[in-house]
Amino acid sequence: MALDQNWYTEIHADAGSAFSLKVKRKLHDEQSDYQRIEVFETEGYGNLMTIDGLVMLSDRDNFIYHEMMTHPALFSHLQPRRVVIVGGGDCGTLREVLKHPEVESVVQVEIDERVTRVSEQFFPALCESNGDPRAEFFFGDGIRWMKEAEPGSIDVIIIDSTDPVGPAKGLFSEPFYRDCLRALGEDGLLAQQSESPLYHSASIIRPMHDEMRKSGFLDTLTLFYPQPVYPSGWWSATLAAKSAPVTFLREEQCENKVFETHYYNDAIHRASMAVPEFVRRELLR
């Protein structure tokens, strides 16, 4: 059955696939200094944000992504007191980080302030912790910010960026990872969204592991989770540890976590660390 104009469709031409949501109306459309930001009201997924025609998040399923981008990393560090988020303009990752009582400060470094302002208007639940006194916002270039960061000043870096094109391309490179490594403390940990294992194992995930290790990180590990609105419906986050293997260090604290989640728990954390055989072979090439 052909889709009519009442559907929003993101086509992934390289894979010969597409994803569609039925739309009630368009709520917002603007061209910022960096990108086109649109918000739609859908029939089944609540509000939907797209940037430059690519789906960023929906009300219905964003909790999976935001929880998996934050909690595995924070429970893999013994004392995640100082956190920096690069990107993450919708503030969902920030909200999840601030659920951890151990966290003393979070700096969100987002190049496009308009993403945050649009999120405050159309995704208020994601921005409910923006007023937390531990949160600080910096709107500017994340690559430059990291280059100028004080050595050893960060415990966990979370790179919650768009696809590795345009302004985000440099966030997937060895020079940027070297700056992250320098800014991290001795037990520092980096987490970065790493696209679809089904579509991007060879083009993004394996090169990311290579660049992270070339930059000096001791160990890397990719975690896997579903994400219905993204190409293939299957997504990943890659962790890189500065001086020790990536491990589930605070497993007991996770089992008895003091905050609510909707997808993530200790069993999901352990399961997400299992590497599919085709990805394992690709990483060993």
Kindly give, in sequence order, each residue whose CB lies less than 8 Å from that of residue 69, ignoring residues fewer than 6 positions away.
93, 96, 158, 160, 191, 193, 237
Catalytic residue among 61, 112, 155, 160: 160
Is 161 one of the annotated binding-site residues? yes
100 annotated as belonging to a binding site for a ligand: no
* Residue 87 annotated as lining a ligand binding site: no
110 is in an annotated binding site: yes
According to the annotation, is 112 in a ligand binding site?
no
Q: Is 116 a known ligand-binding residue?
A: no
Q: Which residues of 184-199 are buried (b: 16+ CB within 10 A; e: fewer)?
A: bbebbbbbbbbbbbbb
Answer yes or no: 160 catalytic: yes
| Other beta carbons within 10 Å of 158 | 27
Reported as half-sphere exposure (CB side, CA atoms, 13 A), residue 105 has a value of 8
Q: Are 240 and 214 spatial neighbours (Cβ–Cβ below 8 Å)?
A: no
| 253 and 245 Cβ atoms separated by less than 8 Å | no
Is 131 assigned a ligand-binding role in the annotation? no
Q: What is the strand order of the sheet 54-58 is part of?
A: 7-12, 17-31, 36-42, 47-51, 54-58
- Is residue 162 annotated as involved in ligand binding? yes
Is 35 known as a binding-site position? Answer: yes
Answer yes or no: are the C-beta atoms of 173 and 211 closer than 8 Å.
Answer: yes
Q: Which residues are annotated as a binding site for spermidine?
A: 66, 90, 160-163
- Residues that constitute the known binding site: 35, 66, 90, 110, 141-142, 160-163, 167
Annotated binding site for S-methyl-5'-thioadenosine: which residue ranges? 35, 110, 141-142, 167
Active site residues: 160
